[in-house]
Amino acid sequence: MDKLLIGGGGPLDGEIRISGAKNSALPILACTLLADGPMSIGNMPHLNDVTTMLALLRCMGVGITIGEKMCVEIDANALTELTAPYELVRTMRASILVLGPMLARFGEANVSFPGGCAIGSRPVDIHLRGLEAMGATIEVDEGYIRAKSDGRLKGAHIFMDVVTVGGTENLVMAAVLAEGQTILENAAREPEVVDLCQCMVAMGAKIEGIGTSTLVVTGVEKLIGCHYDVMPDRIETGTYLVAAAATRGRVRLKDTRADILEAVLLKLEEAGAELSYGEGWIELDMKGKRPKAVNLRTAPYPAFPTDMQAQFTAMNAVAEGTATVVETIFENRLIQIHELNRMGAQITLEGNTAIITGVERLNAAPVMATDLRASASLVIAGLCANGDTLIDRIYHIDRGYECIEEKVQLLGGTIRRIAV
C-alpha cells in the first residue's frame, strides 16, 4: 500500500491548474446512460473514482473510448447488463447514481446496496422513496436494490426531508425521462447538481429552477448524445488555497471559478488571506503572515461545505487563536483530529464540535488517512510540520486529487510517494 512522505518546510508558492470536478464527473458519467446516442465528456479528472465509474459502465456493456486530454466517449446504447455489482459499489458509494438513470431508461436496475463508510452511516432512503413515488417497485434482496418500473416512470411531487446531493441527482436523472412533471422540493443546490442539470439540458431535458431548491422537470421521451465539459473542482481549488494559507504562502490557481466558492473565500479572508480573482483564476497571498483562527459550521450549499471542513481544521491547528468547527452533515467527520493531535495539534472534541487552539508549528509523525478529505488535511498538516510526515492509506487521496504530488511539487512543497 502506497504512502506519502511530506517534508514540512517553507510556504507554498506557485501556480497550478485545477482539474475537472470529481463530484460532477461521477453523476455526469451516470447520466450518459440516459442518452440515445454517443456522448462525449471533456475535462474529466484522472482519478480512481472516475476509473471505478467507467469500470461500472463498462461492466454493464456500455461502450467507452478514452480520447485525448481526458475526453471520454460513451455509448450507452450498447448496454447489456442492468446490474451494478457489489465489487464496484463497495469501492465507491457514488455508484448508487446509476440507479435512477438505469431505471428511467431501461425500466429495471439492480444496484448493490451501498454500506456505511468512515464518515457516517450514509443512508439512501430518500433516493428509494423518491423512485417509489414515481411508480417504481423496489425490493432489497441479497444485498441488492432491485428496482422495476412498469413502463415509463410517472412524474411526482417529491419533498426530500434532508438536503441530499446524491438523492437530488438520482431523482432528477430519473425524472427527465418520466411521463409528465416531477417537482423536487428541498433539492440540493450544490454547483455539481447544477452542472449535471445543465448537461442533461444539453441532451434535451426540460428542467426549470436549476440552482434553486425546487426543480421542476418535464419528462421527455428521449435524450440525445452531445458533448459536455465537466466544471472545475471547487474542493480541489479550496484545498490548495487552504494549503497556501496554512503555510503562509501564495498560490495562483488556473481553470477554476471563484463564484462557486464564496463561503470558503470569505473564511480565507477572515483568516487574513489577500484574495484576488478574475475569469478562470483565483490568487491567494498570505504575505508571510500566520493565519488567524476561523470558526465555521458546515451546511448544504451555499453555506460552508463539509468537504472543506477537514482542510480548515488543519489550518486552524496552526492558526493564531482558538476556533470552533461544527460538522452538521456527517456524524463521524471530525475523525481526523486524532491524527492531527498526534502531530502536536491541540484539538478537543465535544459531540460534533471541534475546539482548536492553534499552535505555532506541528511536529511530523506517522499518520493514517481515514477518508478522502481527511487525507488532504493530513497533507496540509504535514506541510506545516517540523520534519517528515509519513501518511499511510493514501489510496483515499487518489480517489479525489489528480496528480497531487506533481501539483504540490509545482508549488514548491516536498512530497514523495513511497510504494510499499
Active site residues: 117
Stretch that binds ligand UD1, among 122-130, 133-141, 178-186, 340-348 (CB under 6 A): 122-130
Q: Which of 4, 25, 26, 28 is the binder for ligand UD1 (CB under 6 A)?
A: 26
Q: Which of 124, 245, 318, 319 is the binder for ligand UD1 (CB under 6 A)?
A: 124
- Where helices occur in 298-390 by DSSP H, the ranges are 309-317, 337-342, 372-383
Stretch that binds ligand UD1, among 54-62, 81-89, 161-169, 341-349 (CB under 6 A): 161-169
Judged by CB under 6 A, does residue 23 bind ligand UD1? yes
Q: Which residue has the cell 511539487?
A: 409
Distance, CA of 361 to CA of 357 (rounded, Å) = 12
Distance, CA of 414 to CA of 10 (rounded, Å) = 10
Q: Which of 16, 30, 126, 381 is the binder for ligand UD1 (CB under 6 A)?
A: 126
The strands making up 157-159's β-sheet, listed across from edge to edge, are: 157-159, 181-185, 214-218, 206-208
Q: Minimal distance in Å, beta carbon 400 to ligand UD1?
A: 8
Across the chain, which distance is largest between two alpha carbons, in Å? 64
Q: Minimal distance in Å, beta carbon 141 to ligand UD1?
A: 19
Judged by CB under 6 A, does residue 194 bind ligand UD1? no
Distance, CA of 249 to CA of 417 (rounded, Å) = 23
Judged by CB under 6 A, does residue 242 bind ligand UD1? no
Q: Which of 164, 256, 309, 370 is the binder for ligand UD1 (CB under 6 A)?
A: 164
Q: Minimal distance in Å, beta carbon 130 to ligand UD1?
A: 9
Comparison of 329 and 345: residue with beta carbon closer to ligand UD1: 329
Within 10 A of 209 (CB to CB), how many other CB atoms are there? 15
Judged by CB under 6 A, does residue 94 bind ligand UD1? yes
Stretch that binds ligand UD1, among 8-16, 163-171, 175-183, 338-346 (CB under 6 A): 163-171
Q: Which of 155, 167, 191, 225 is the binder for ligand UD1 (CB under 6 A)?
A: 167
Q: Which residue has the cell 471505478?
A: 52
Q: Minimal distance in Å, beta carbon 374 to ligand UD1?
A: 12
Task: Tell me, rounded to whole angstroms, the distance of Cα 50 from its chain centroid.
Answer: 11
Distance, CA of 408 to CA of 13 (rounded, Å) = 10
Instruction: Give residues with Cβ within 8 angstroms of 359, minimum separation 6.
Output: 317, 318, 344, 345, 346
Would you put residue 366 in left (φ > 0), alpha (ψ -120 to 50) or beta? beta
Instruction: Give residues with Cβ within 8 angstroms of 70, minimum separation 6.
Output: 20, 42, 43, 44, 45, 46
Comparison of 181 and 328: residue with beta carbon closer to ligand UD1: 328
Stretch that binds ligand UD1, among 77-85, 124-132, 361-369, 391-399 (CB under 6 A): 124-132
Stretch that binds ligand UD1, among 83-91, 165-173, 248-256, 285-293 (CB under 6 A): 165-173
Distance, CA of 273 to CA of 285 (rounded, Å) = 6
| Binding track, positions 101-120, relative to ligand UD1; x by CB under 6 A | -------------------x
Q: Minimal distance in Å, beta carbon 166 to ligand UD1?
A: 3
Comparison of 140 and 162: residue with beta carbon closer to ligand UD1: 162
Q: Minimal distance in Å, beta carbon 368 to ligand UD1?
A: 20
Distance, CA of 195 to CA of 28 (rounded, Å) = 8
Are the C-beta atoms of residues 182 and 209 closer than 8 Å to each other? no
Stretch that binds ligand UD1, among 50-58, 159-167, 198-206, 377-385 (CB under 6 A): 159-167
Comparison of 75 and 236: residue with beta carbon closer to ligand UD1: 236
Read off the amino acid at residue 315: M
| Residues of this chain, 293-332, that bind ligand UD1 according to CB under 6 A | 306-307, 329-330
Within 10 A of 65 (CB to CB), how many other CB atoms are there? 11
| Cα dihedral across residues 139, 145, 151, 156: positive or negative | positive
Judged by CB under 6 A, does residue 10 bind ligand UD1? no
What does the binding site for ligand UD1 look like in residue numbers (CB under 6 A)?
23, 26, 94, 120, 122-127, 162, 164-167, 192, 306-307, 329-330
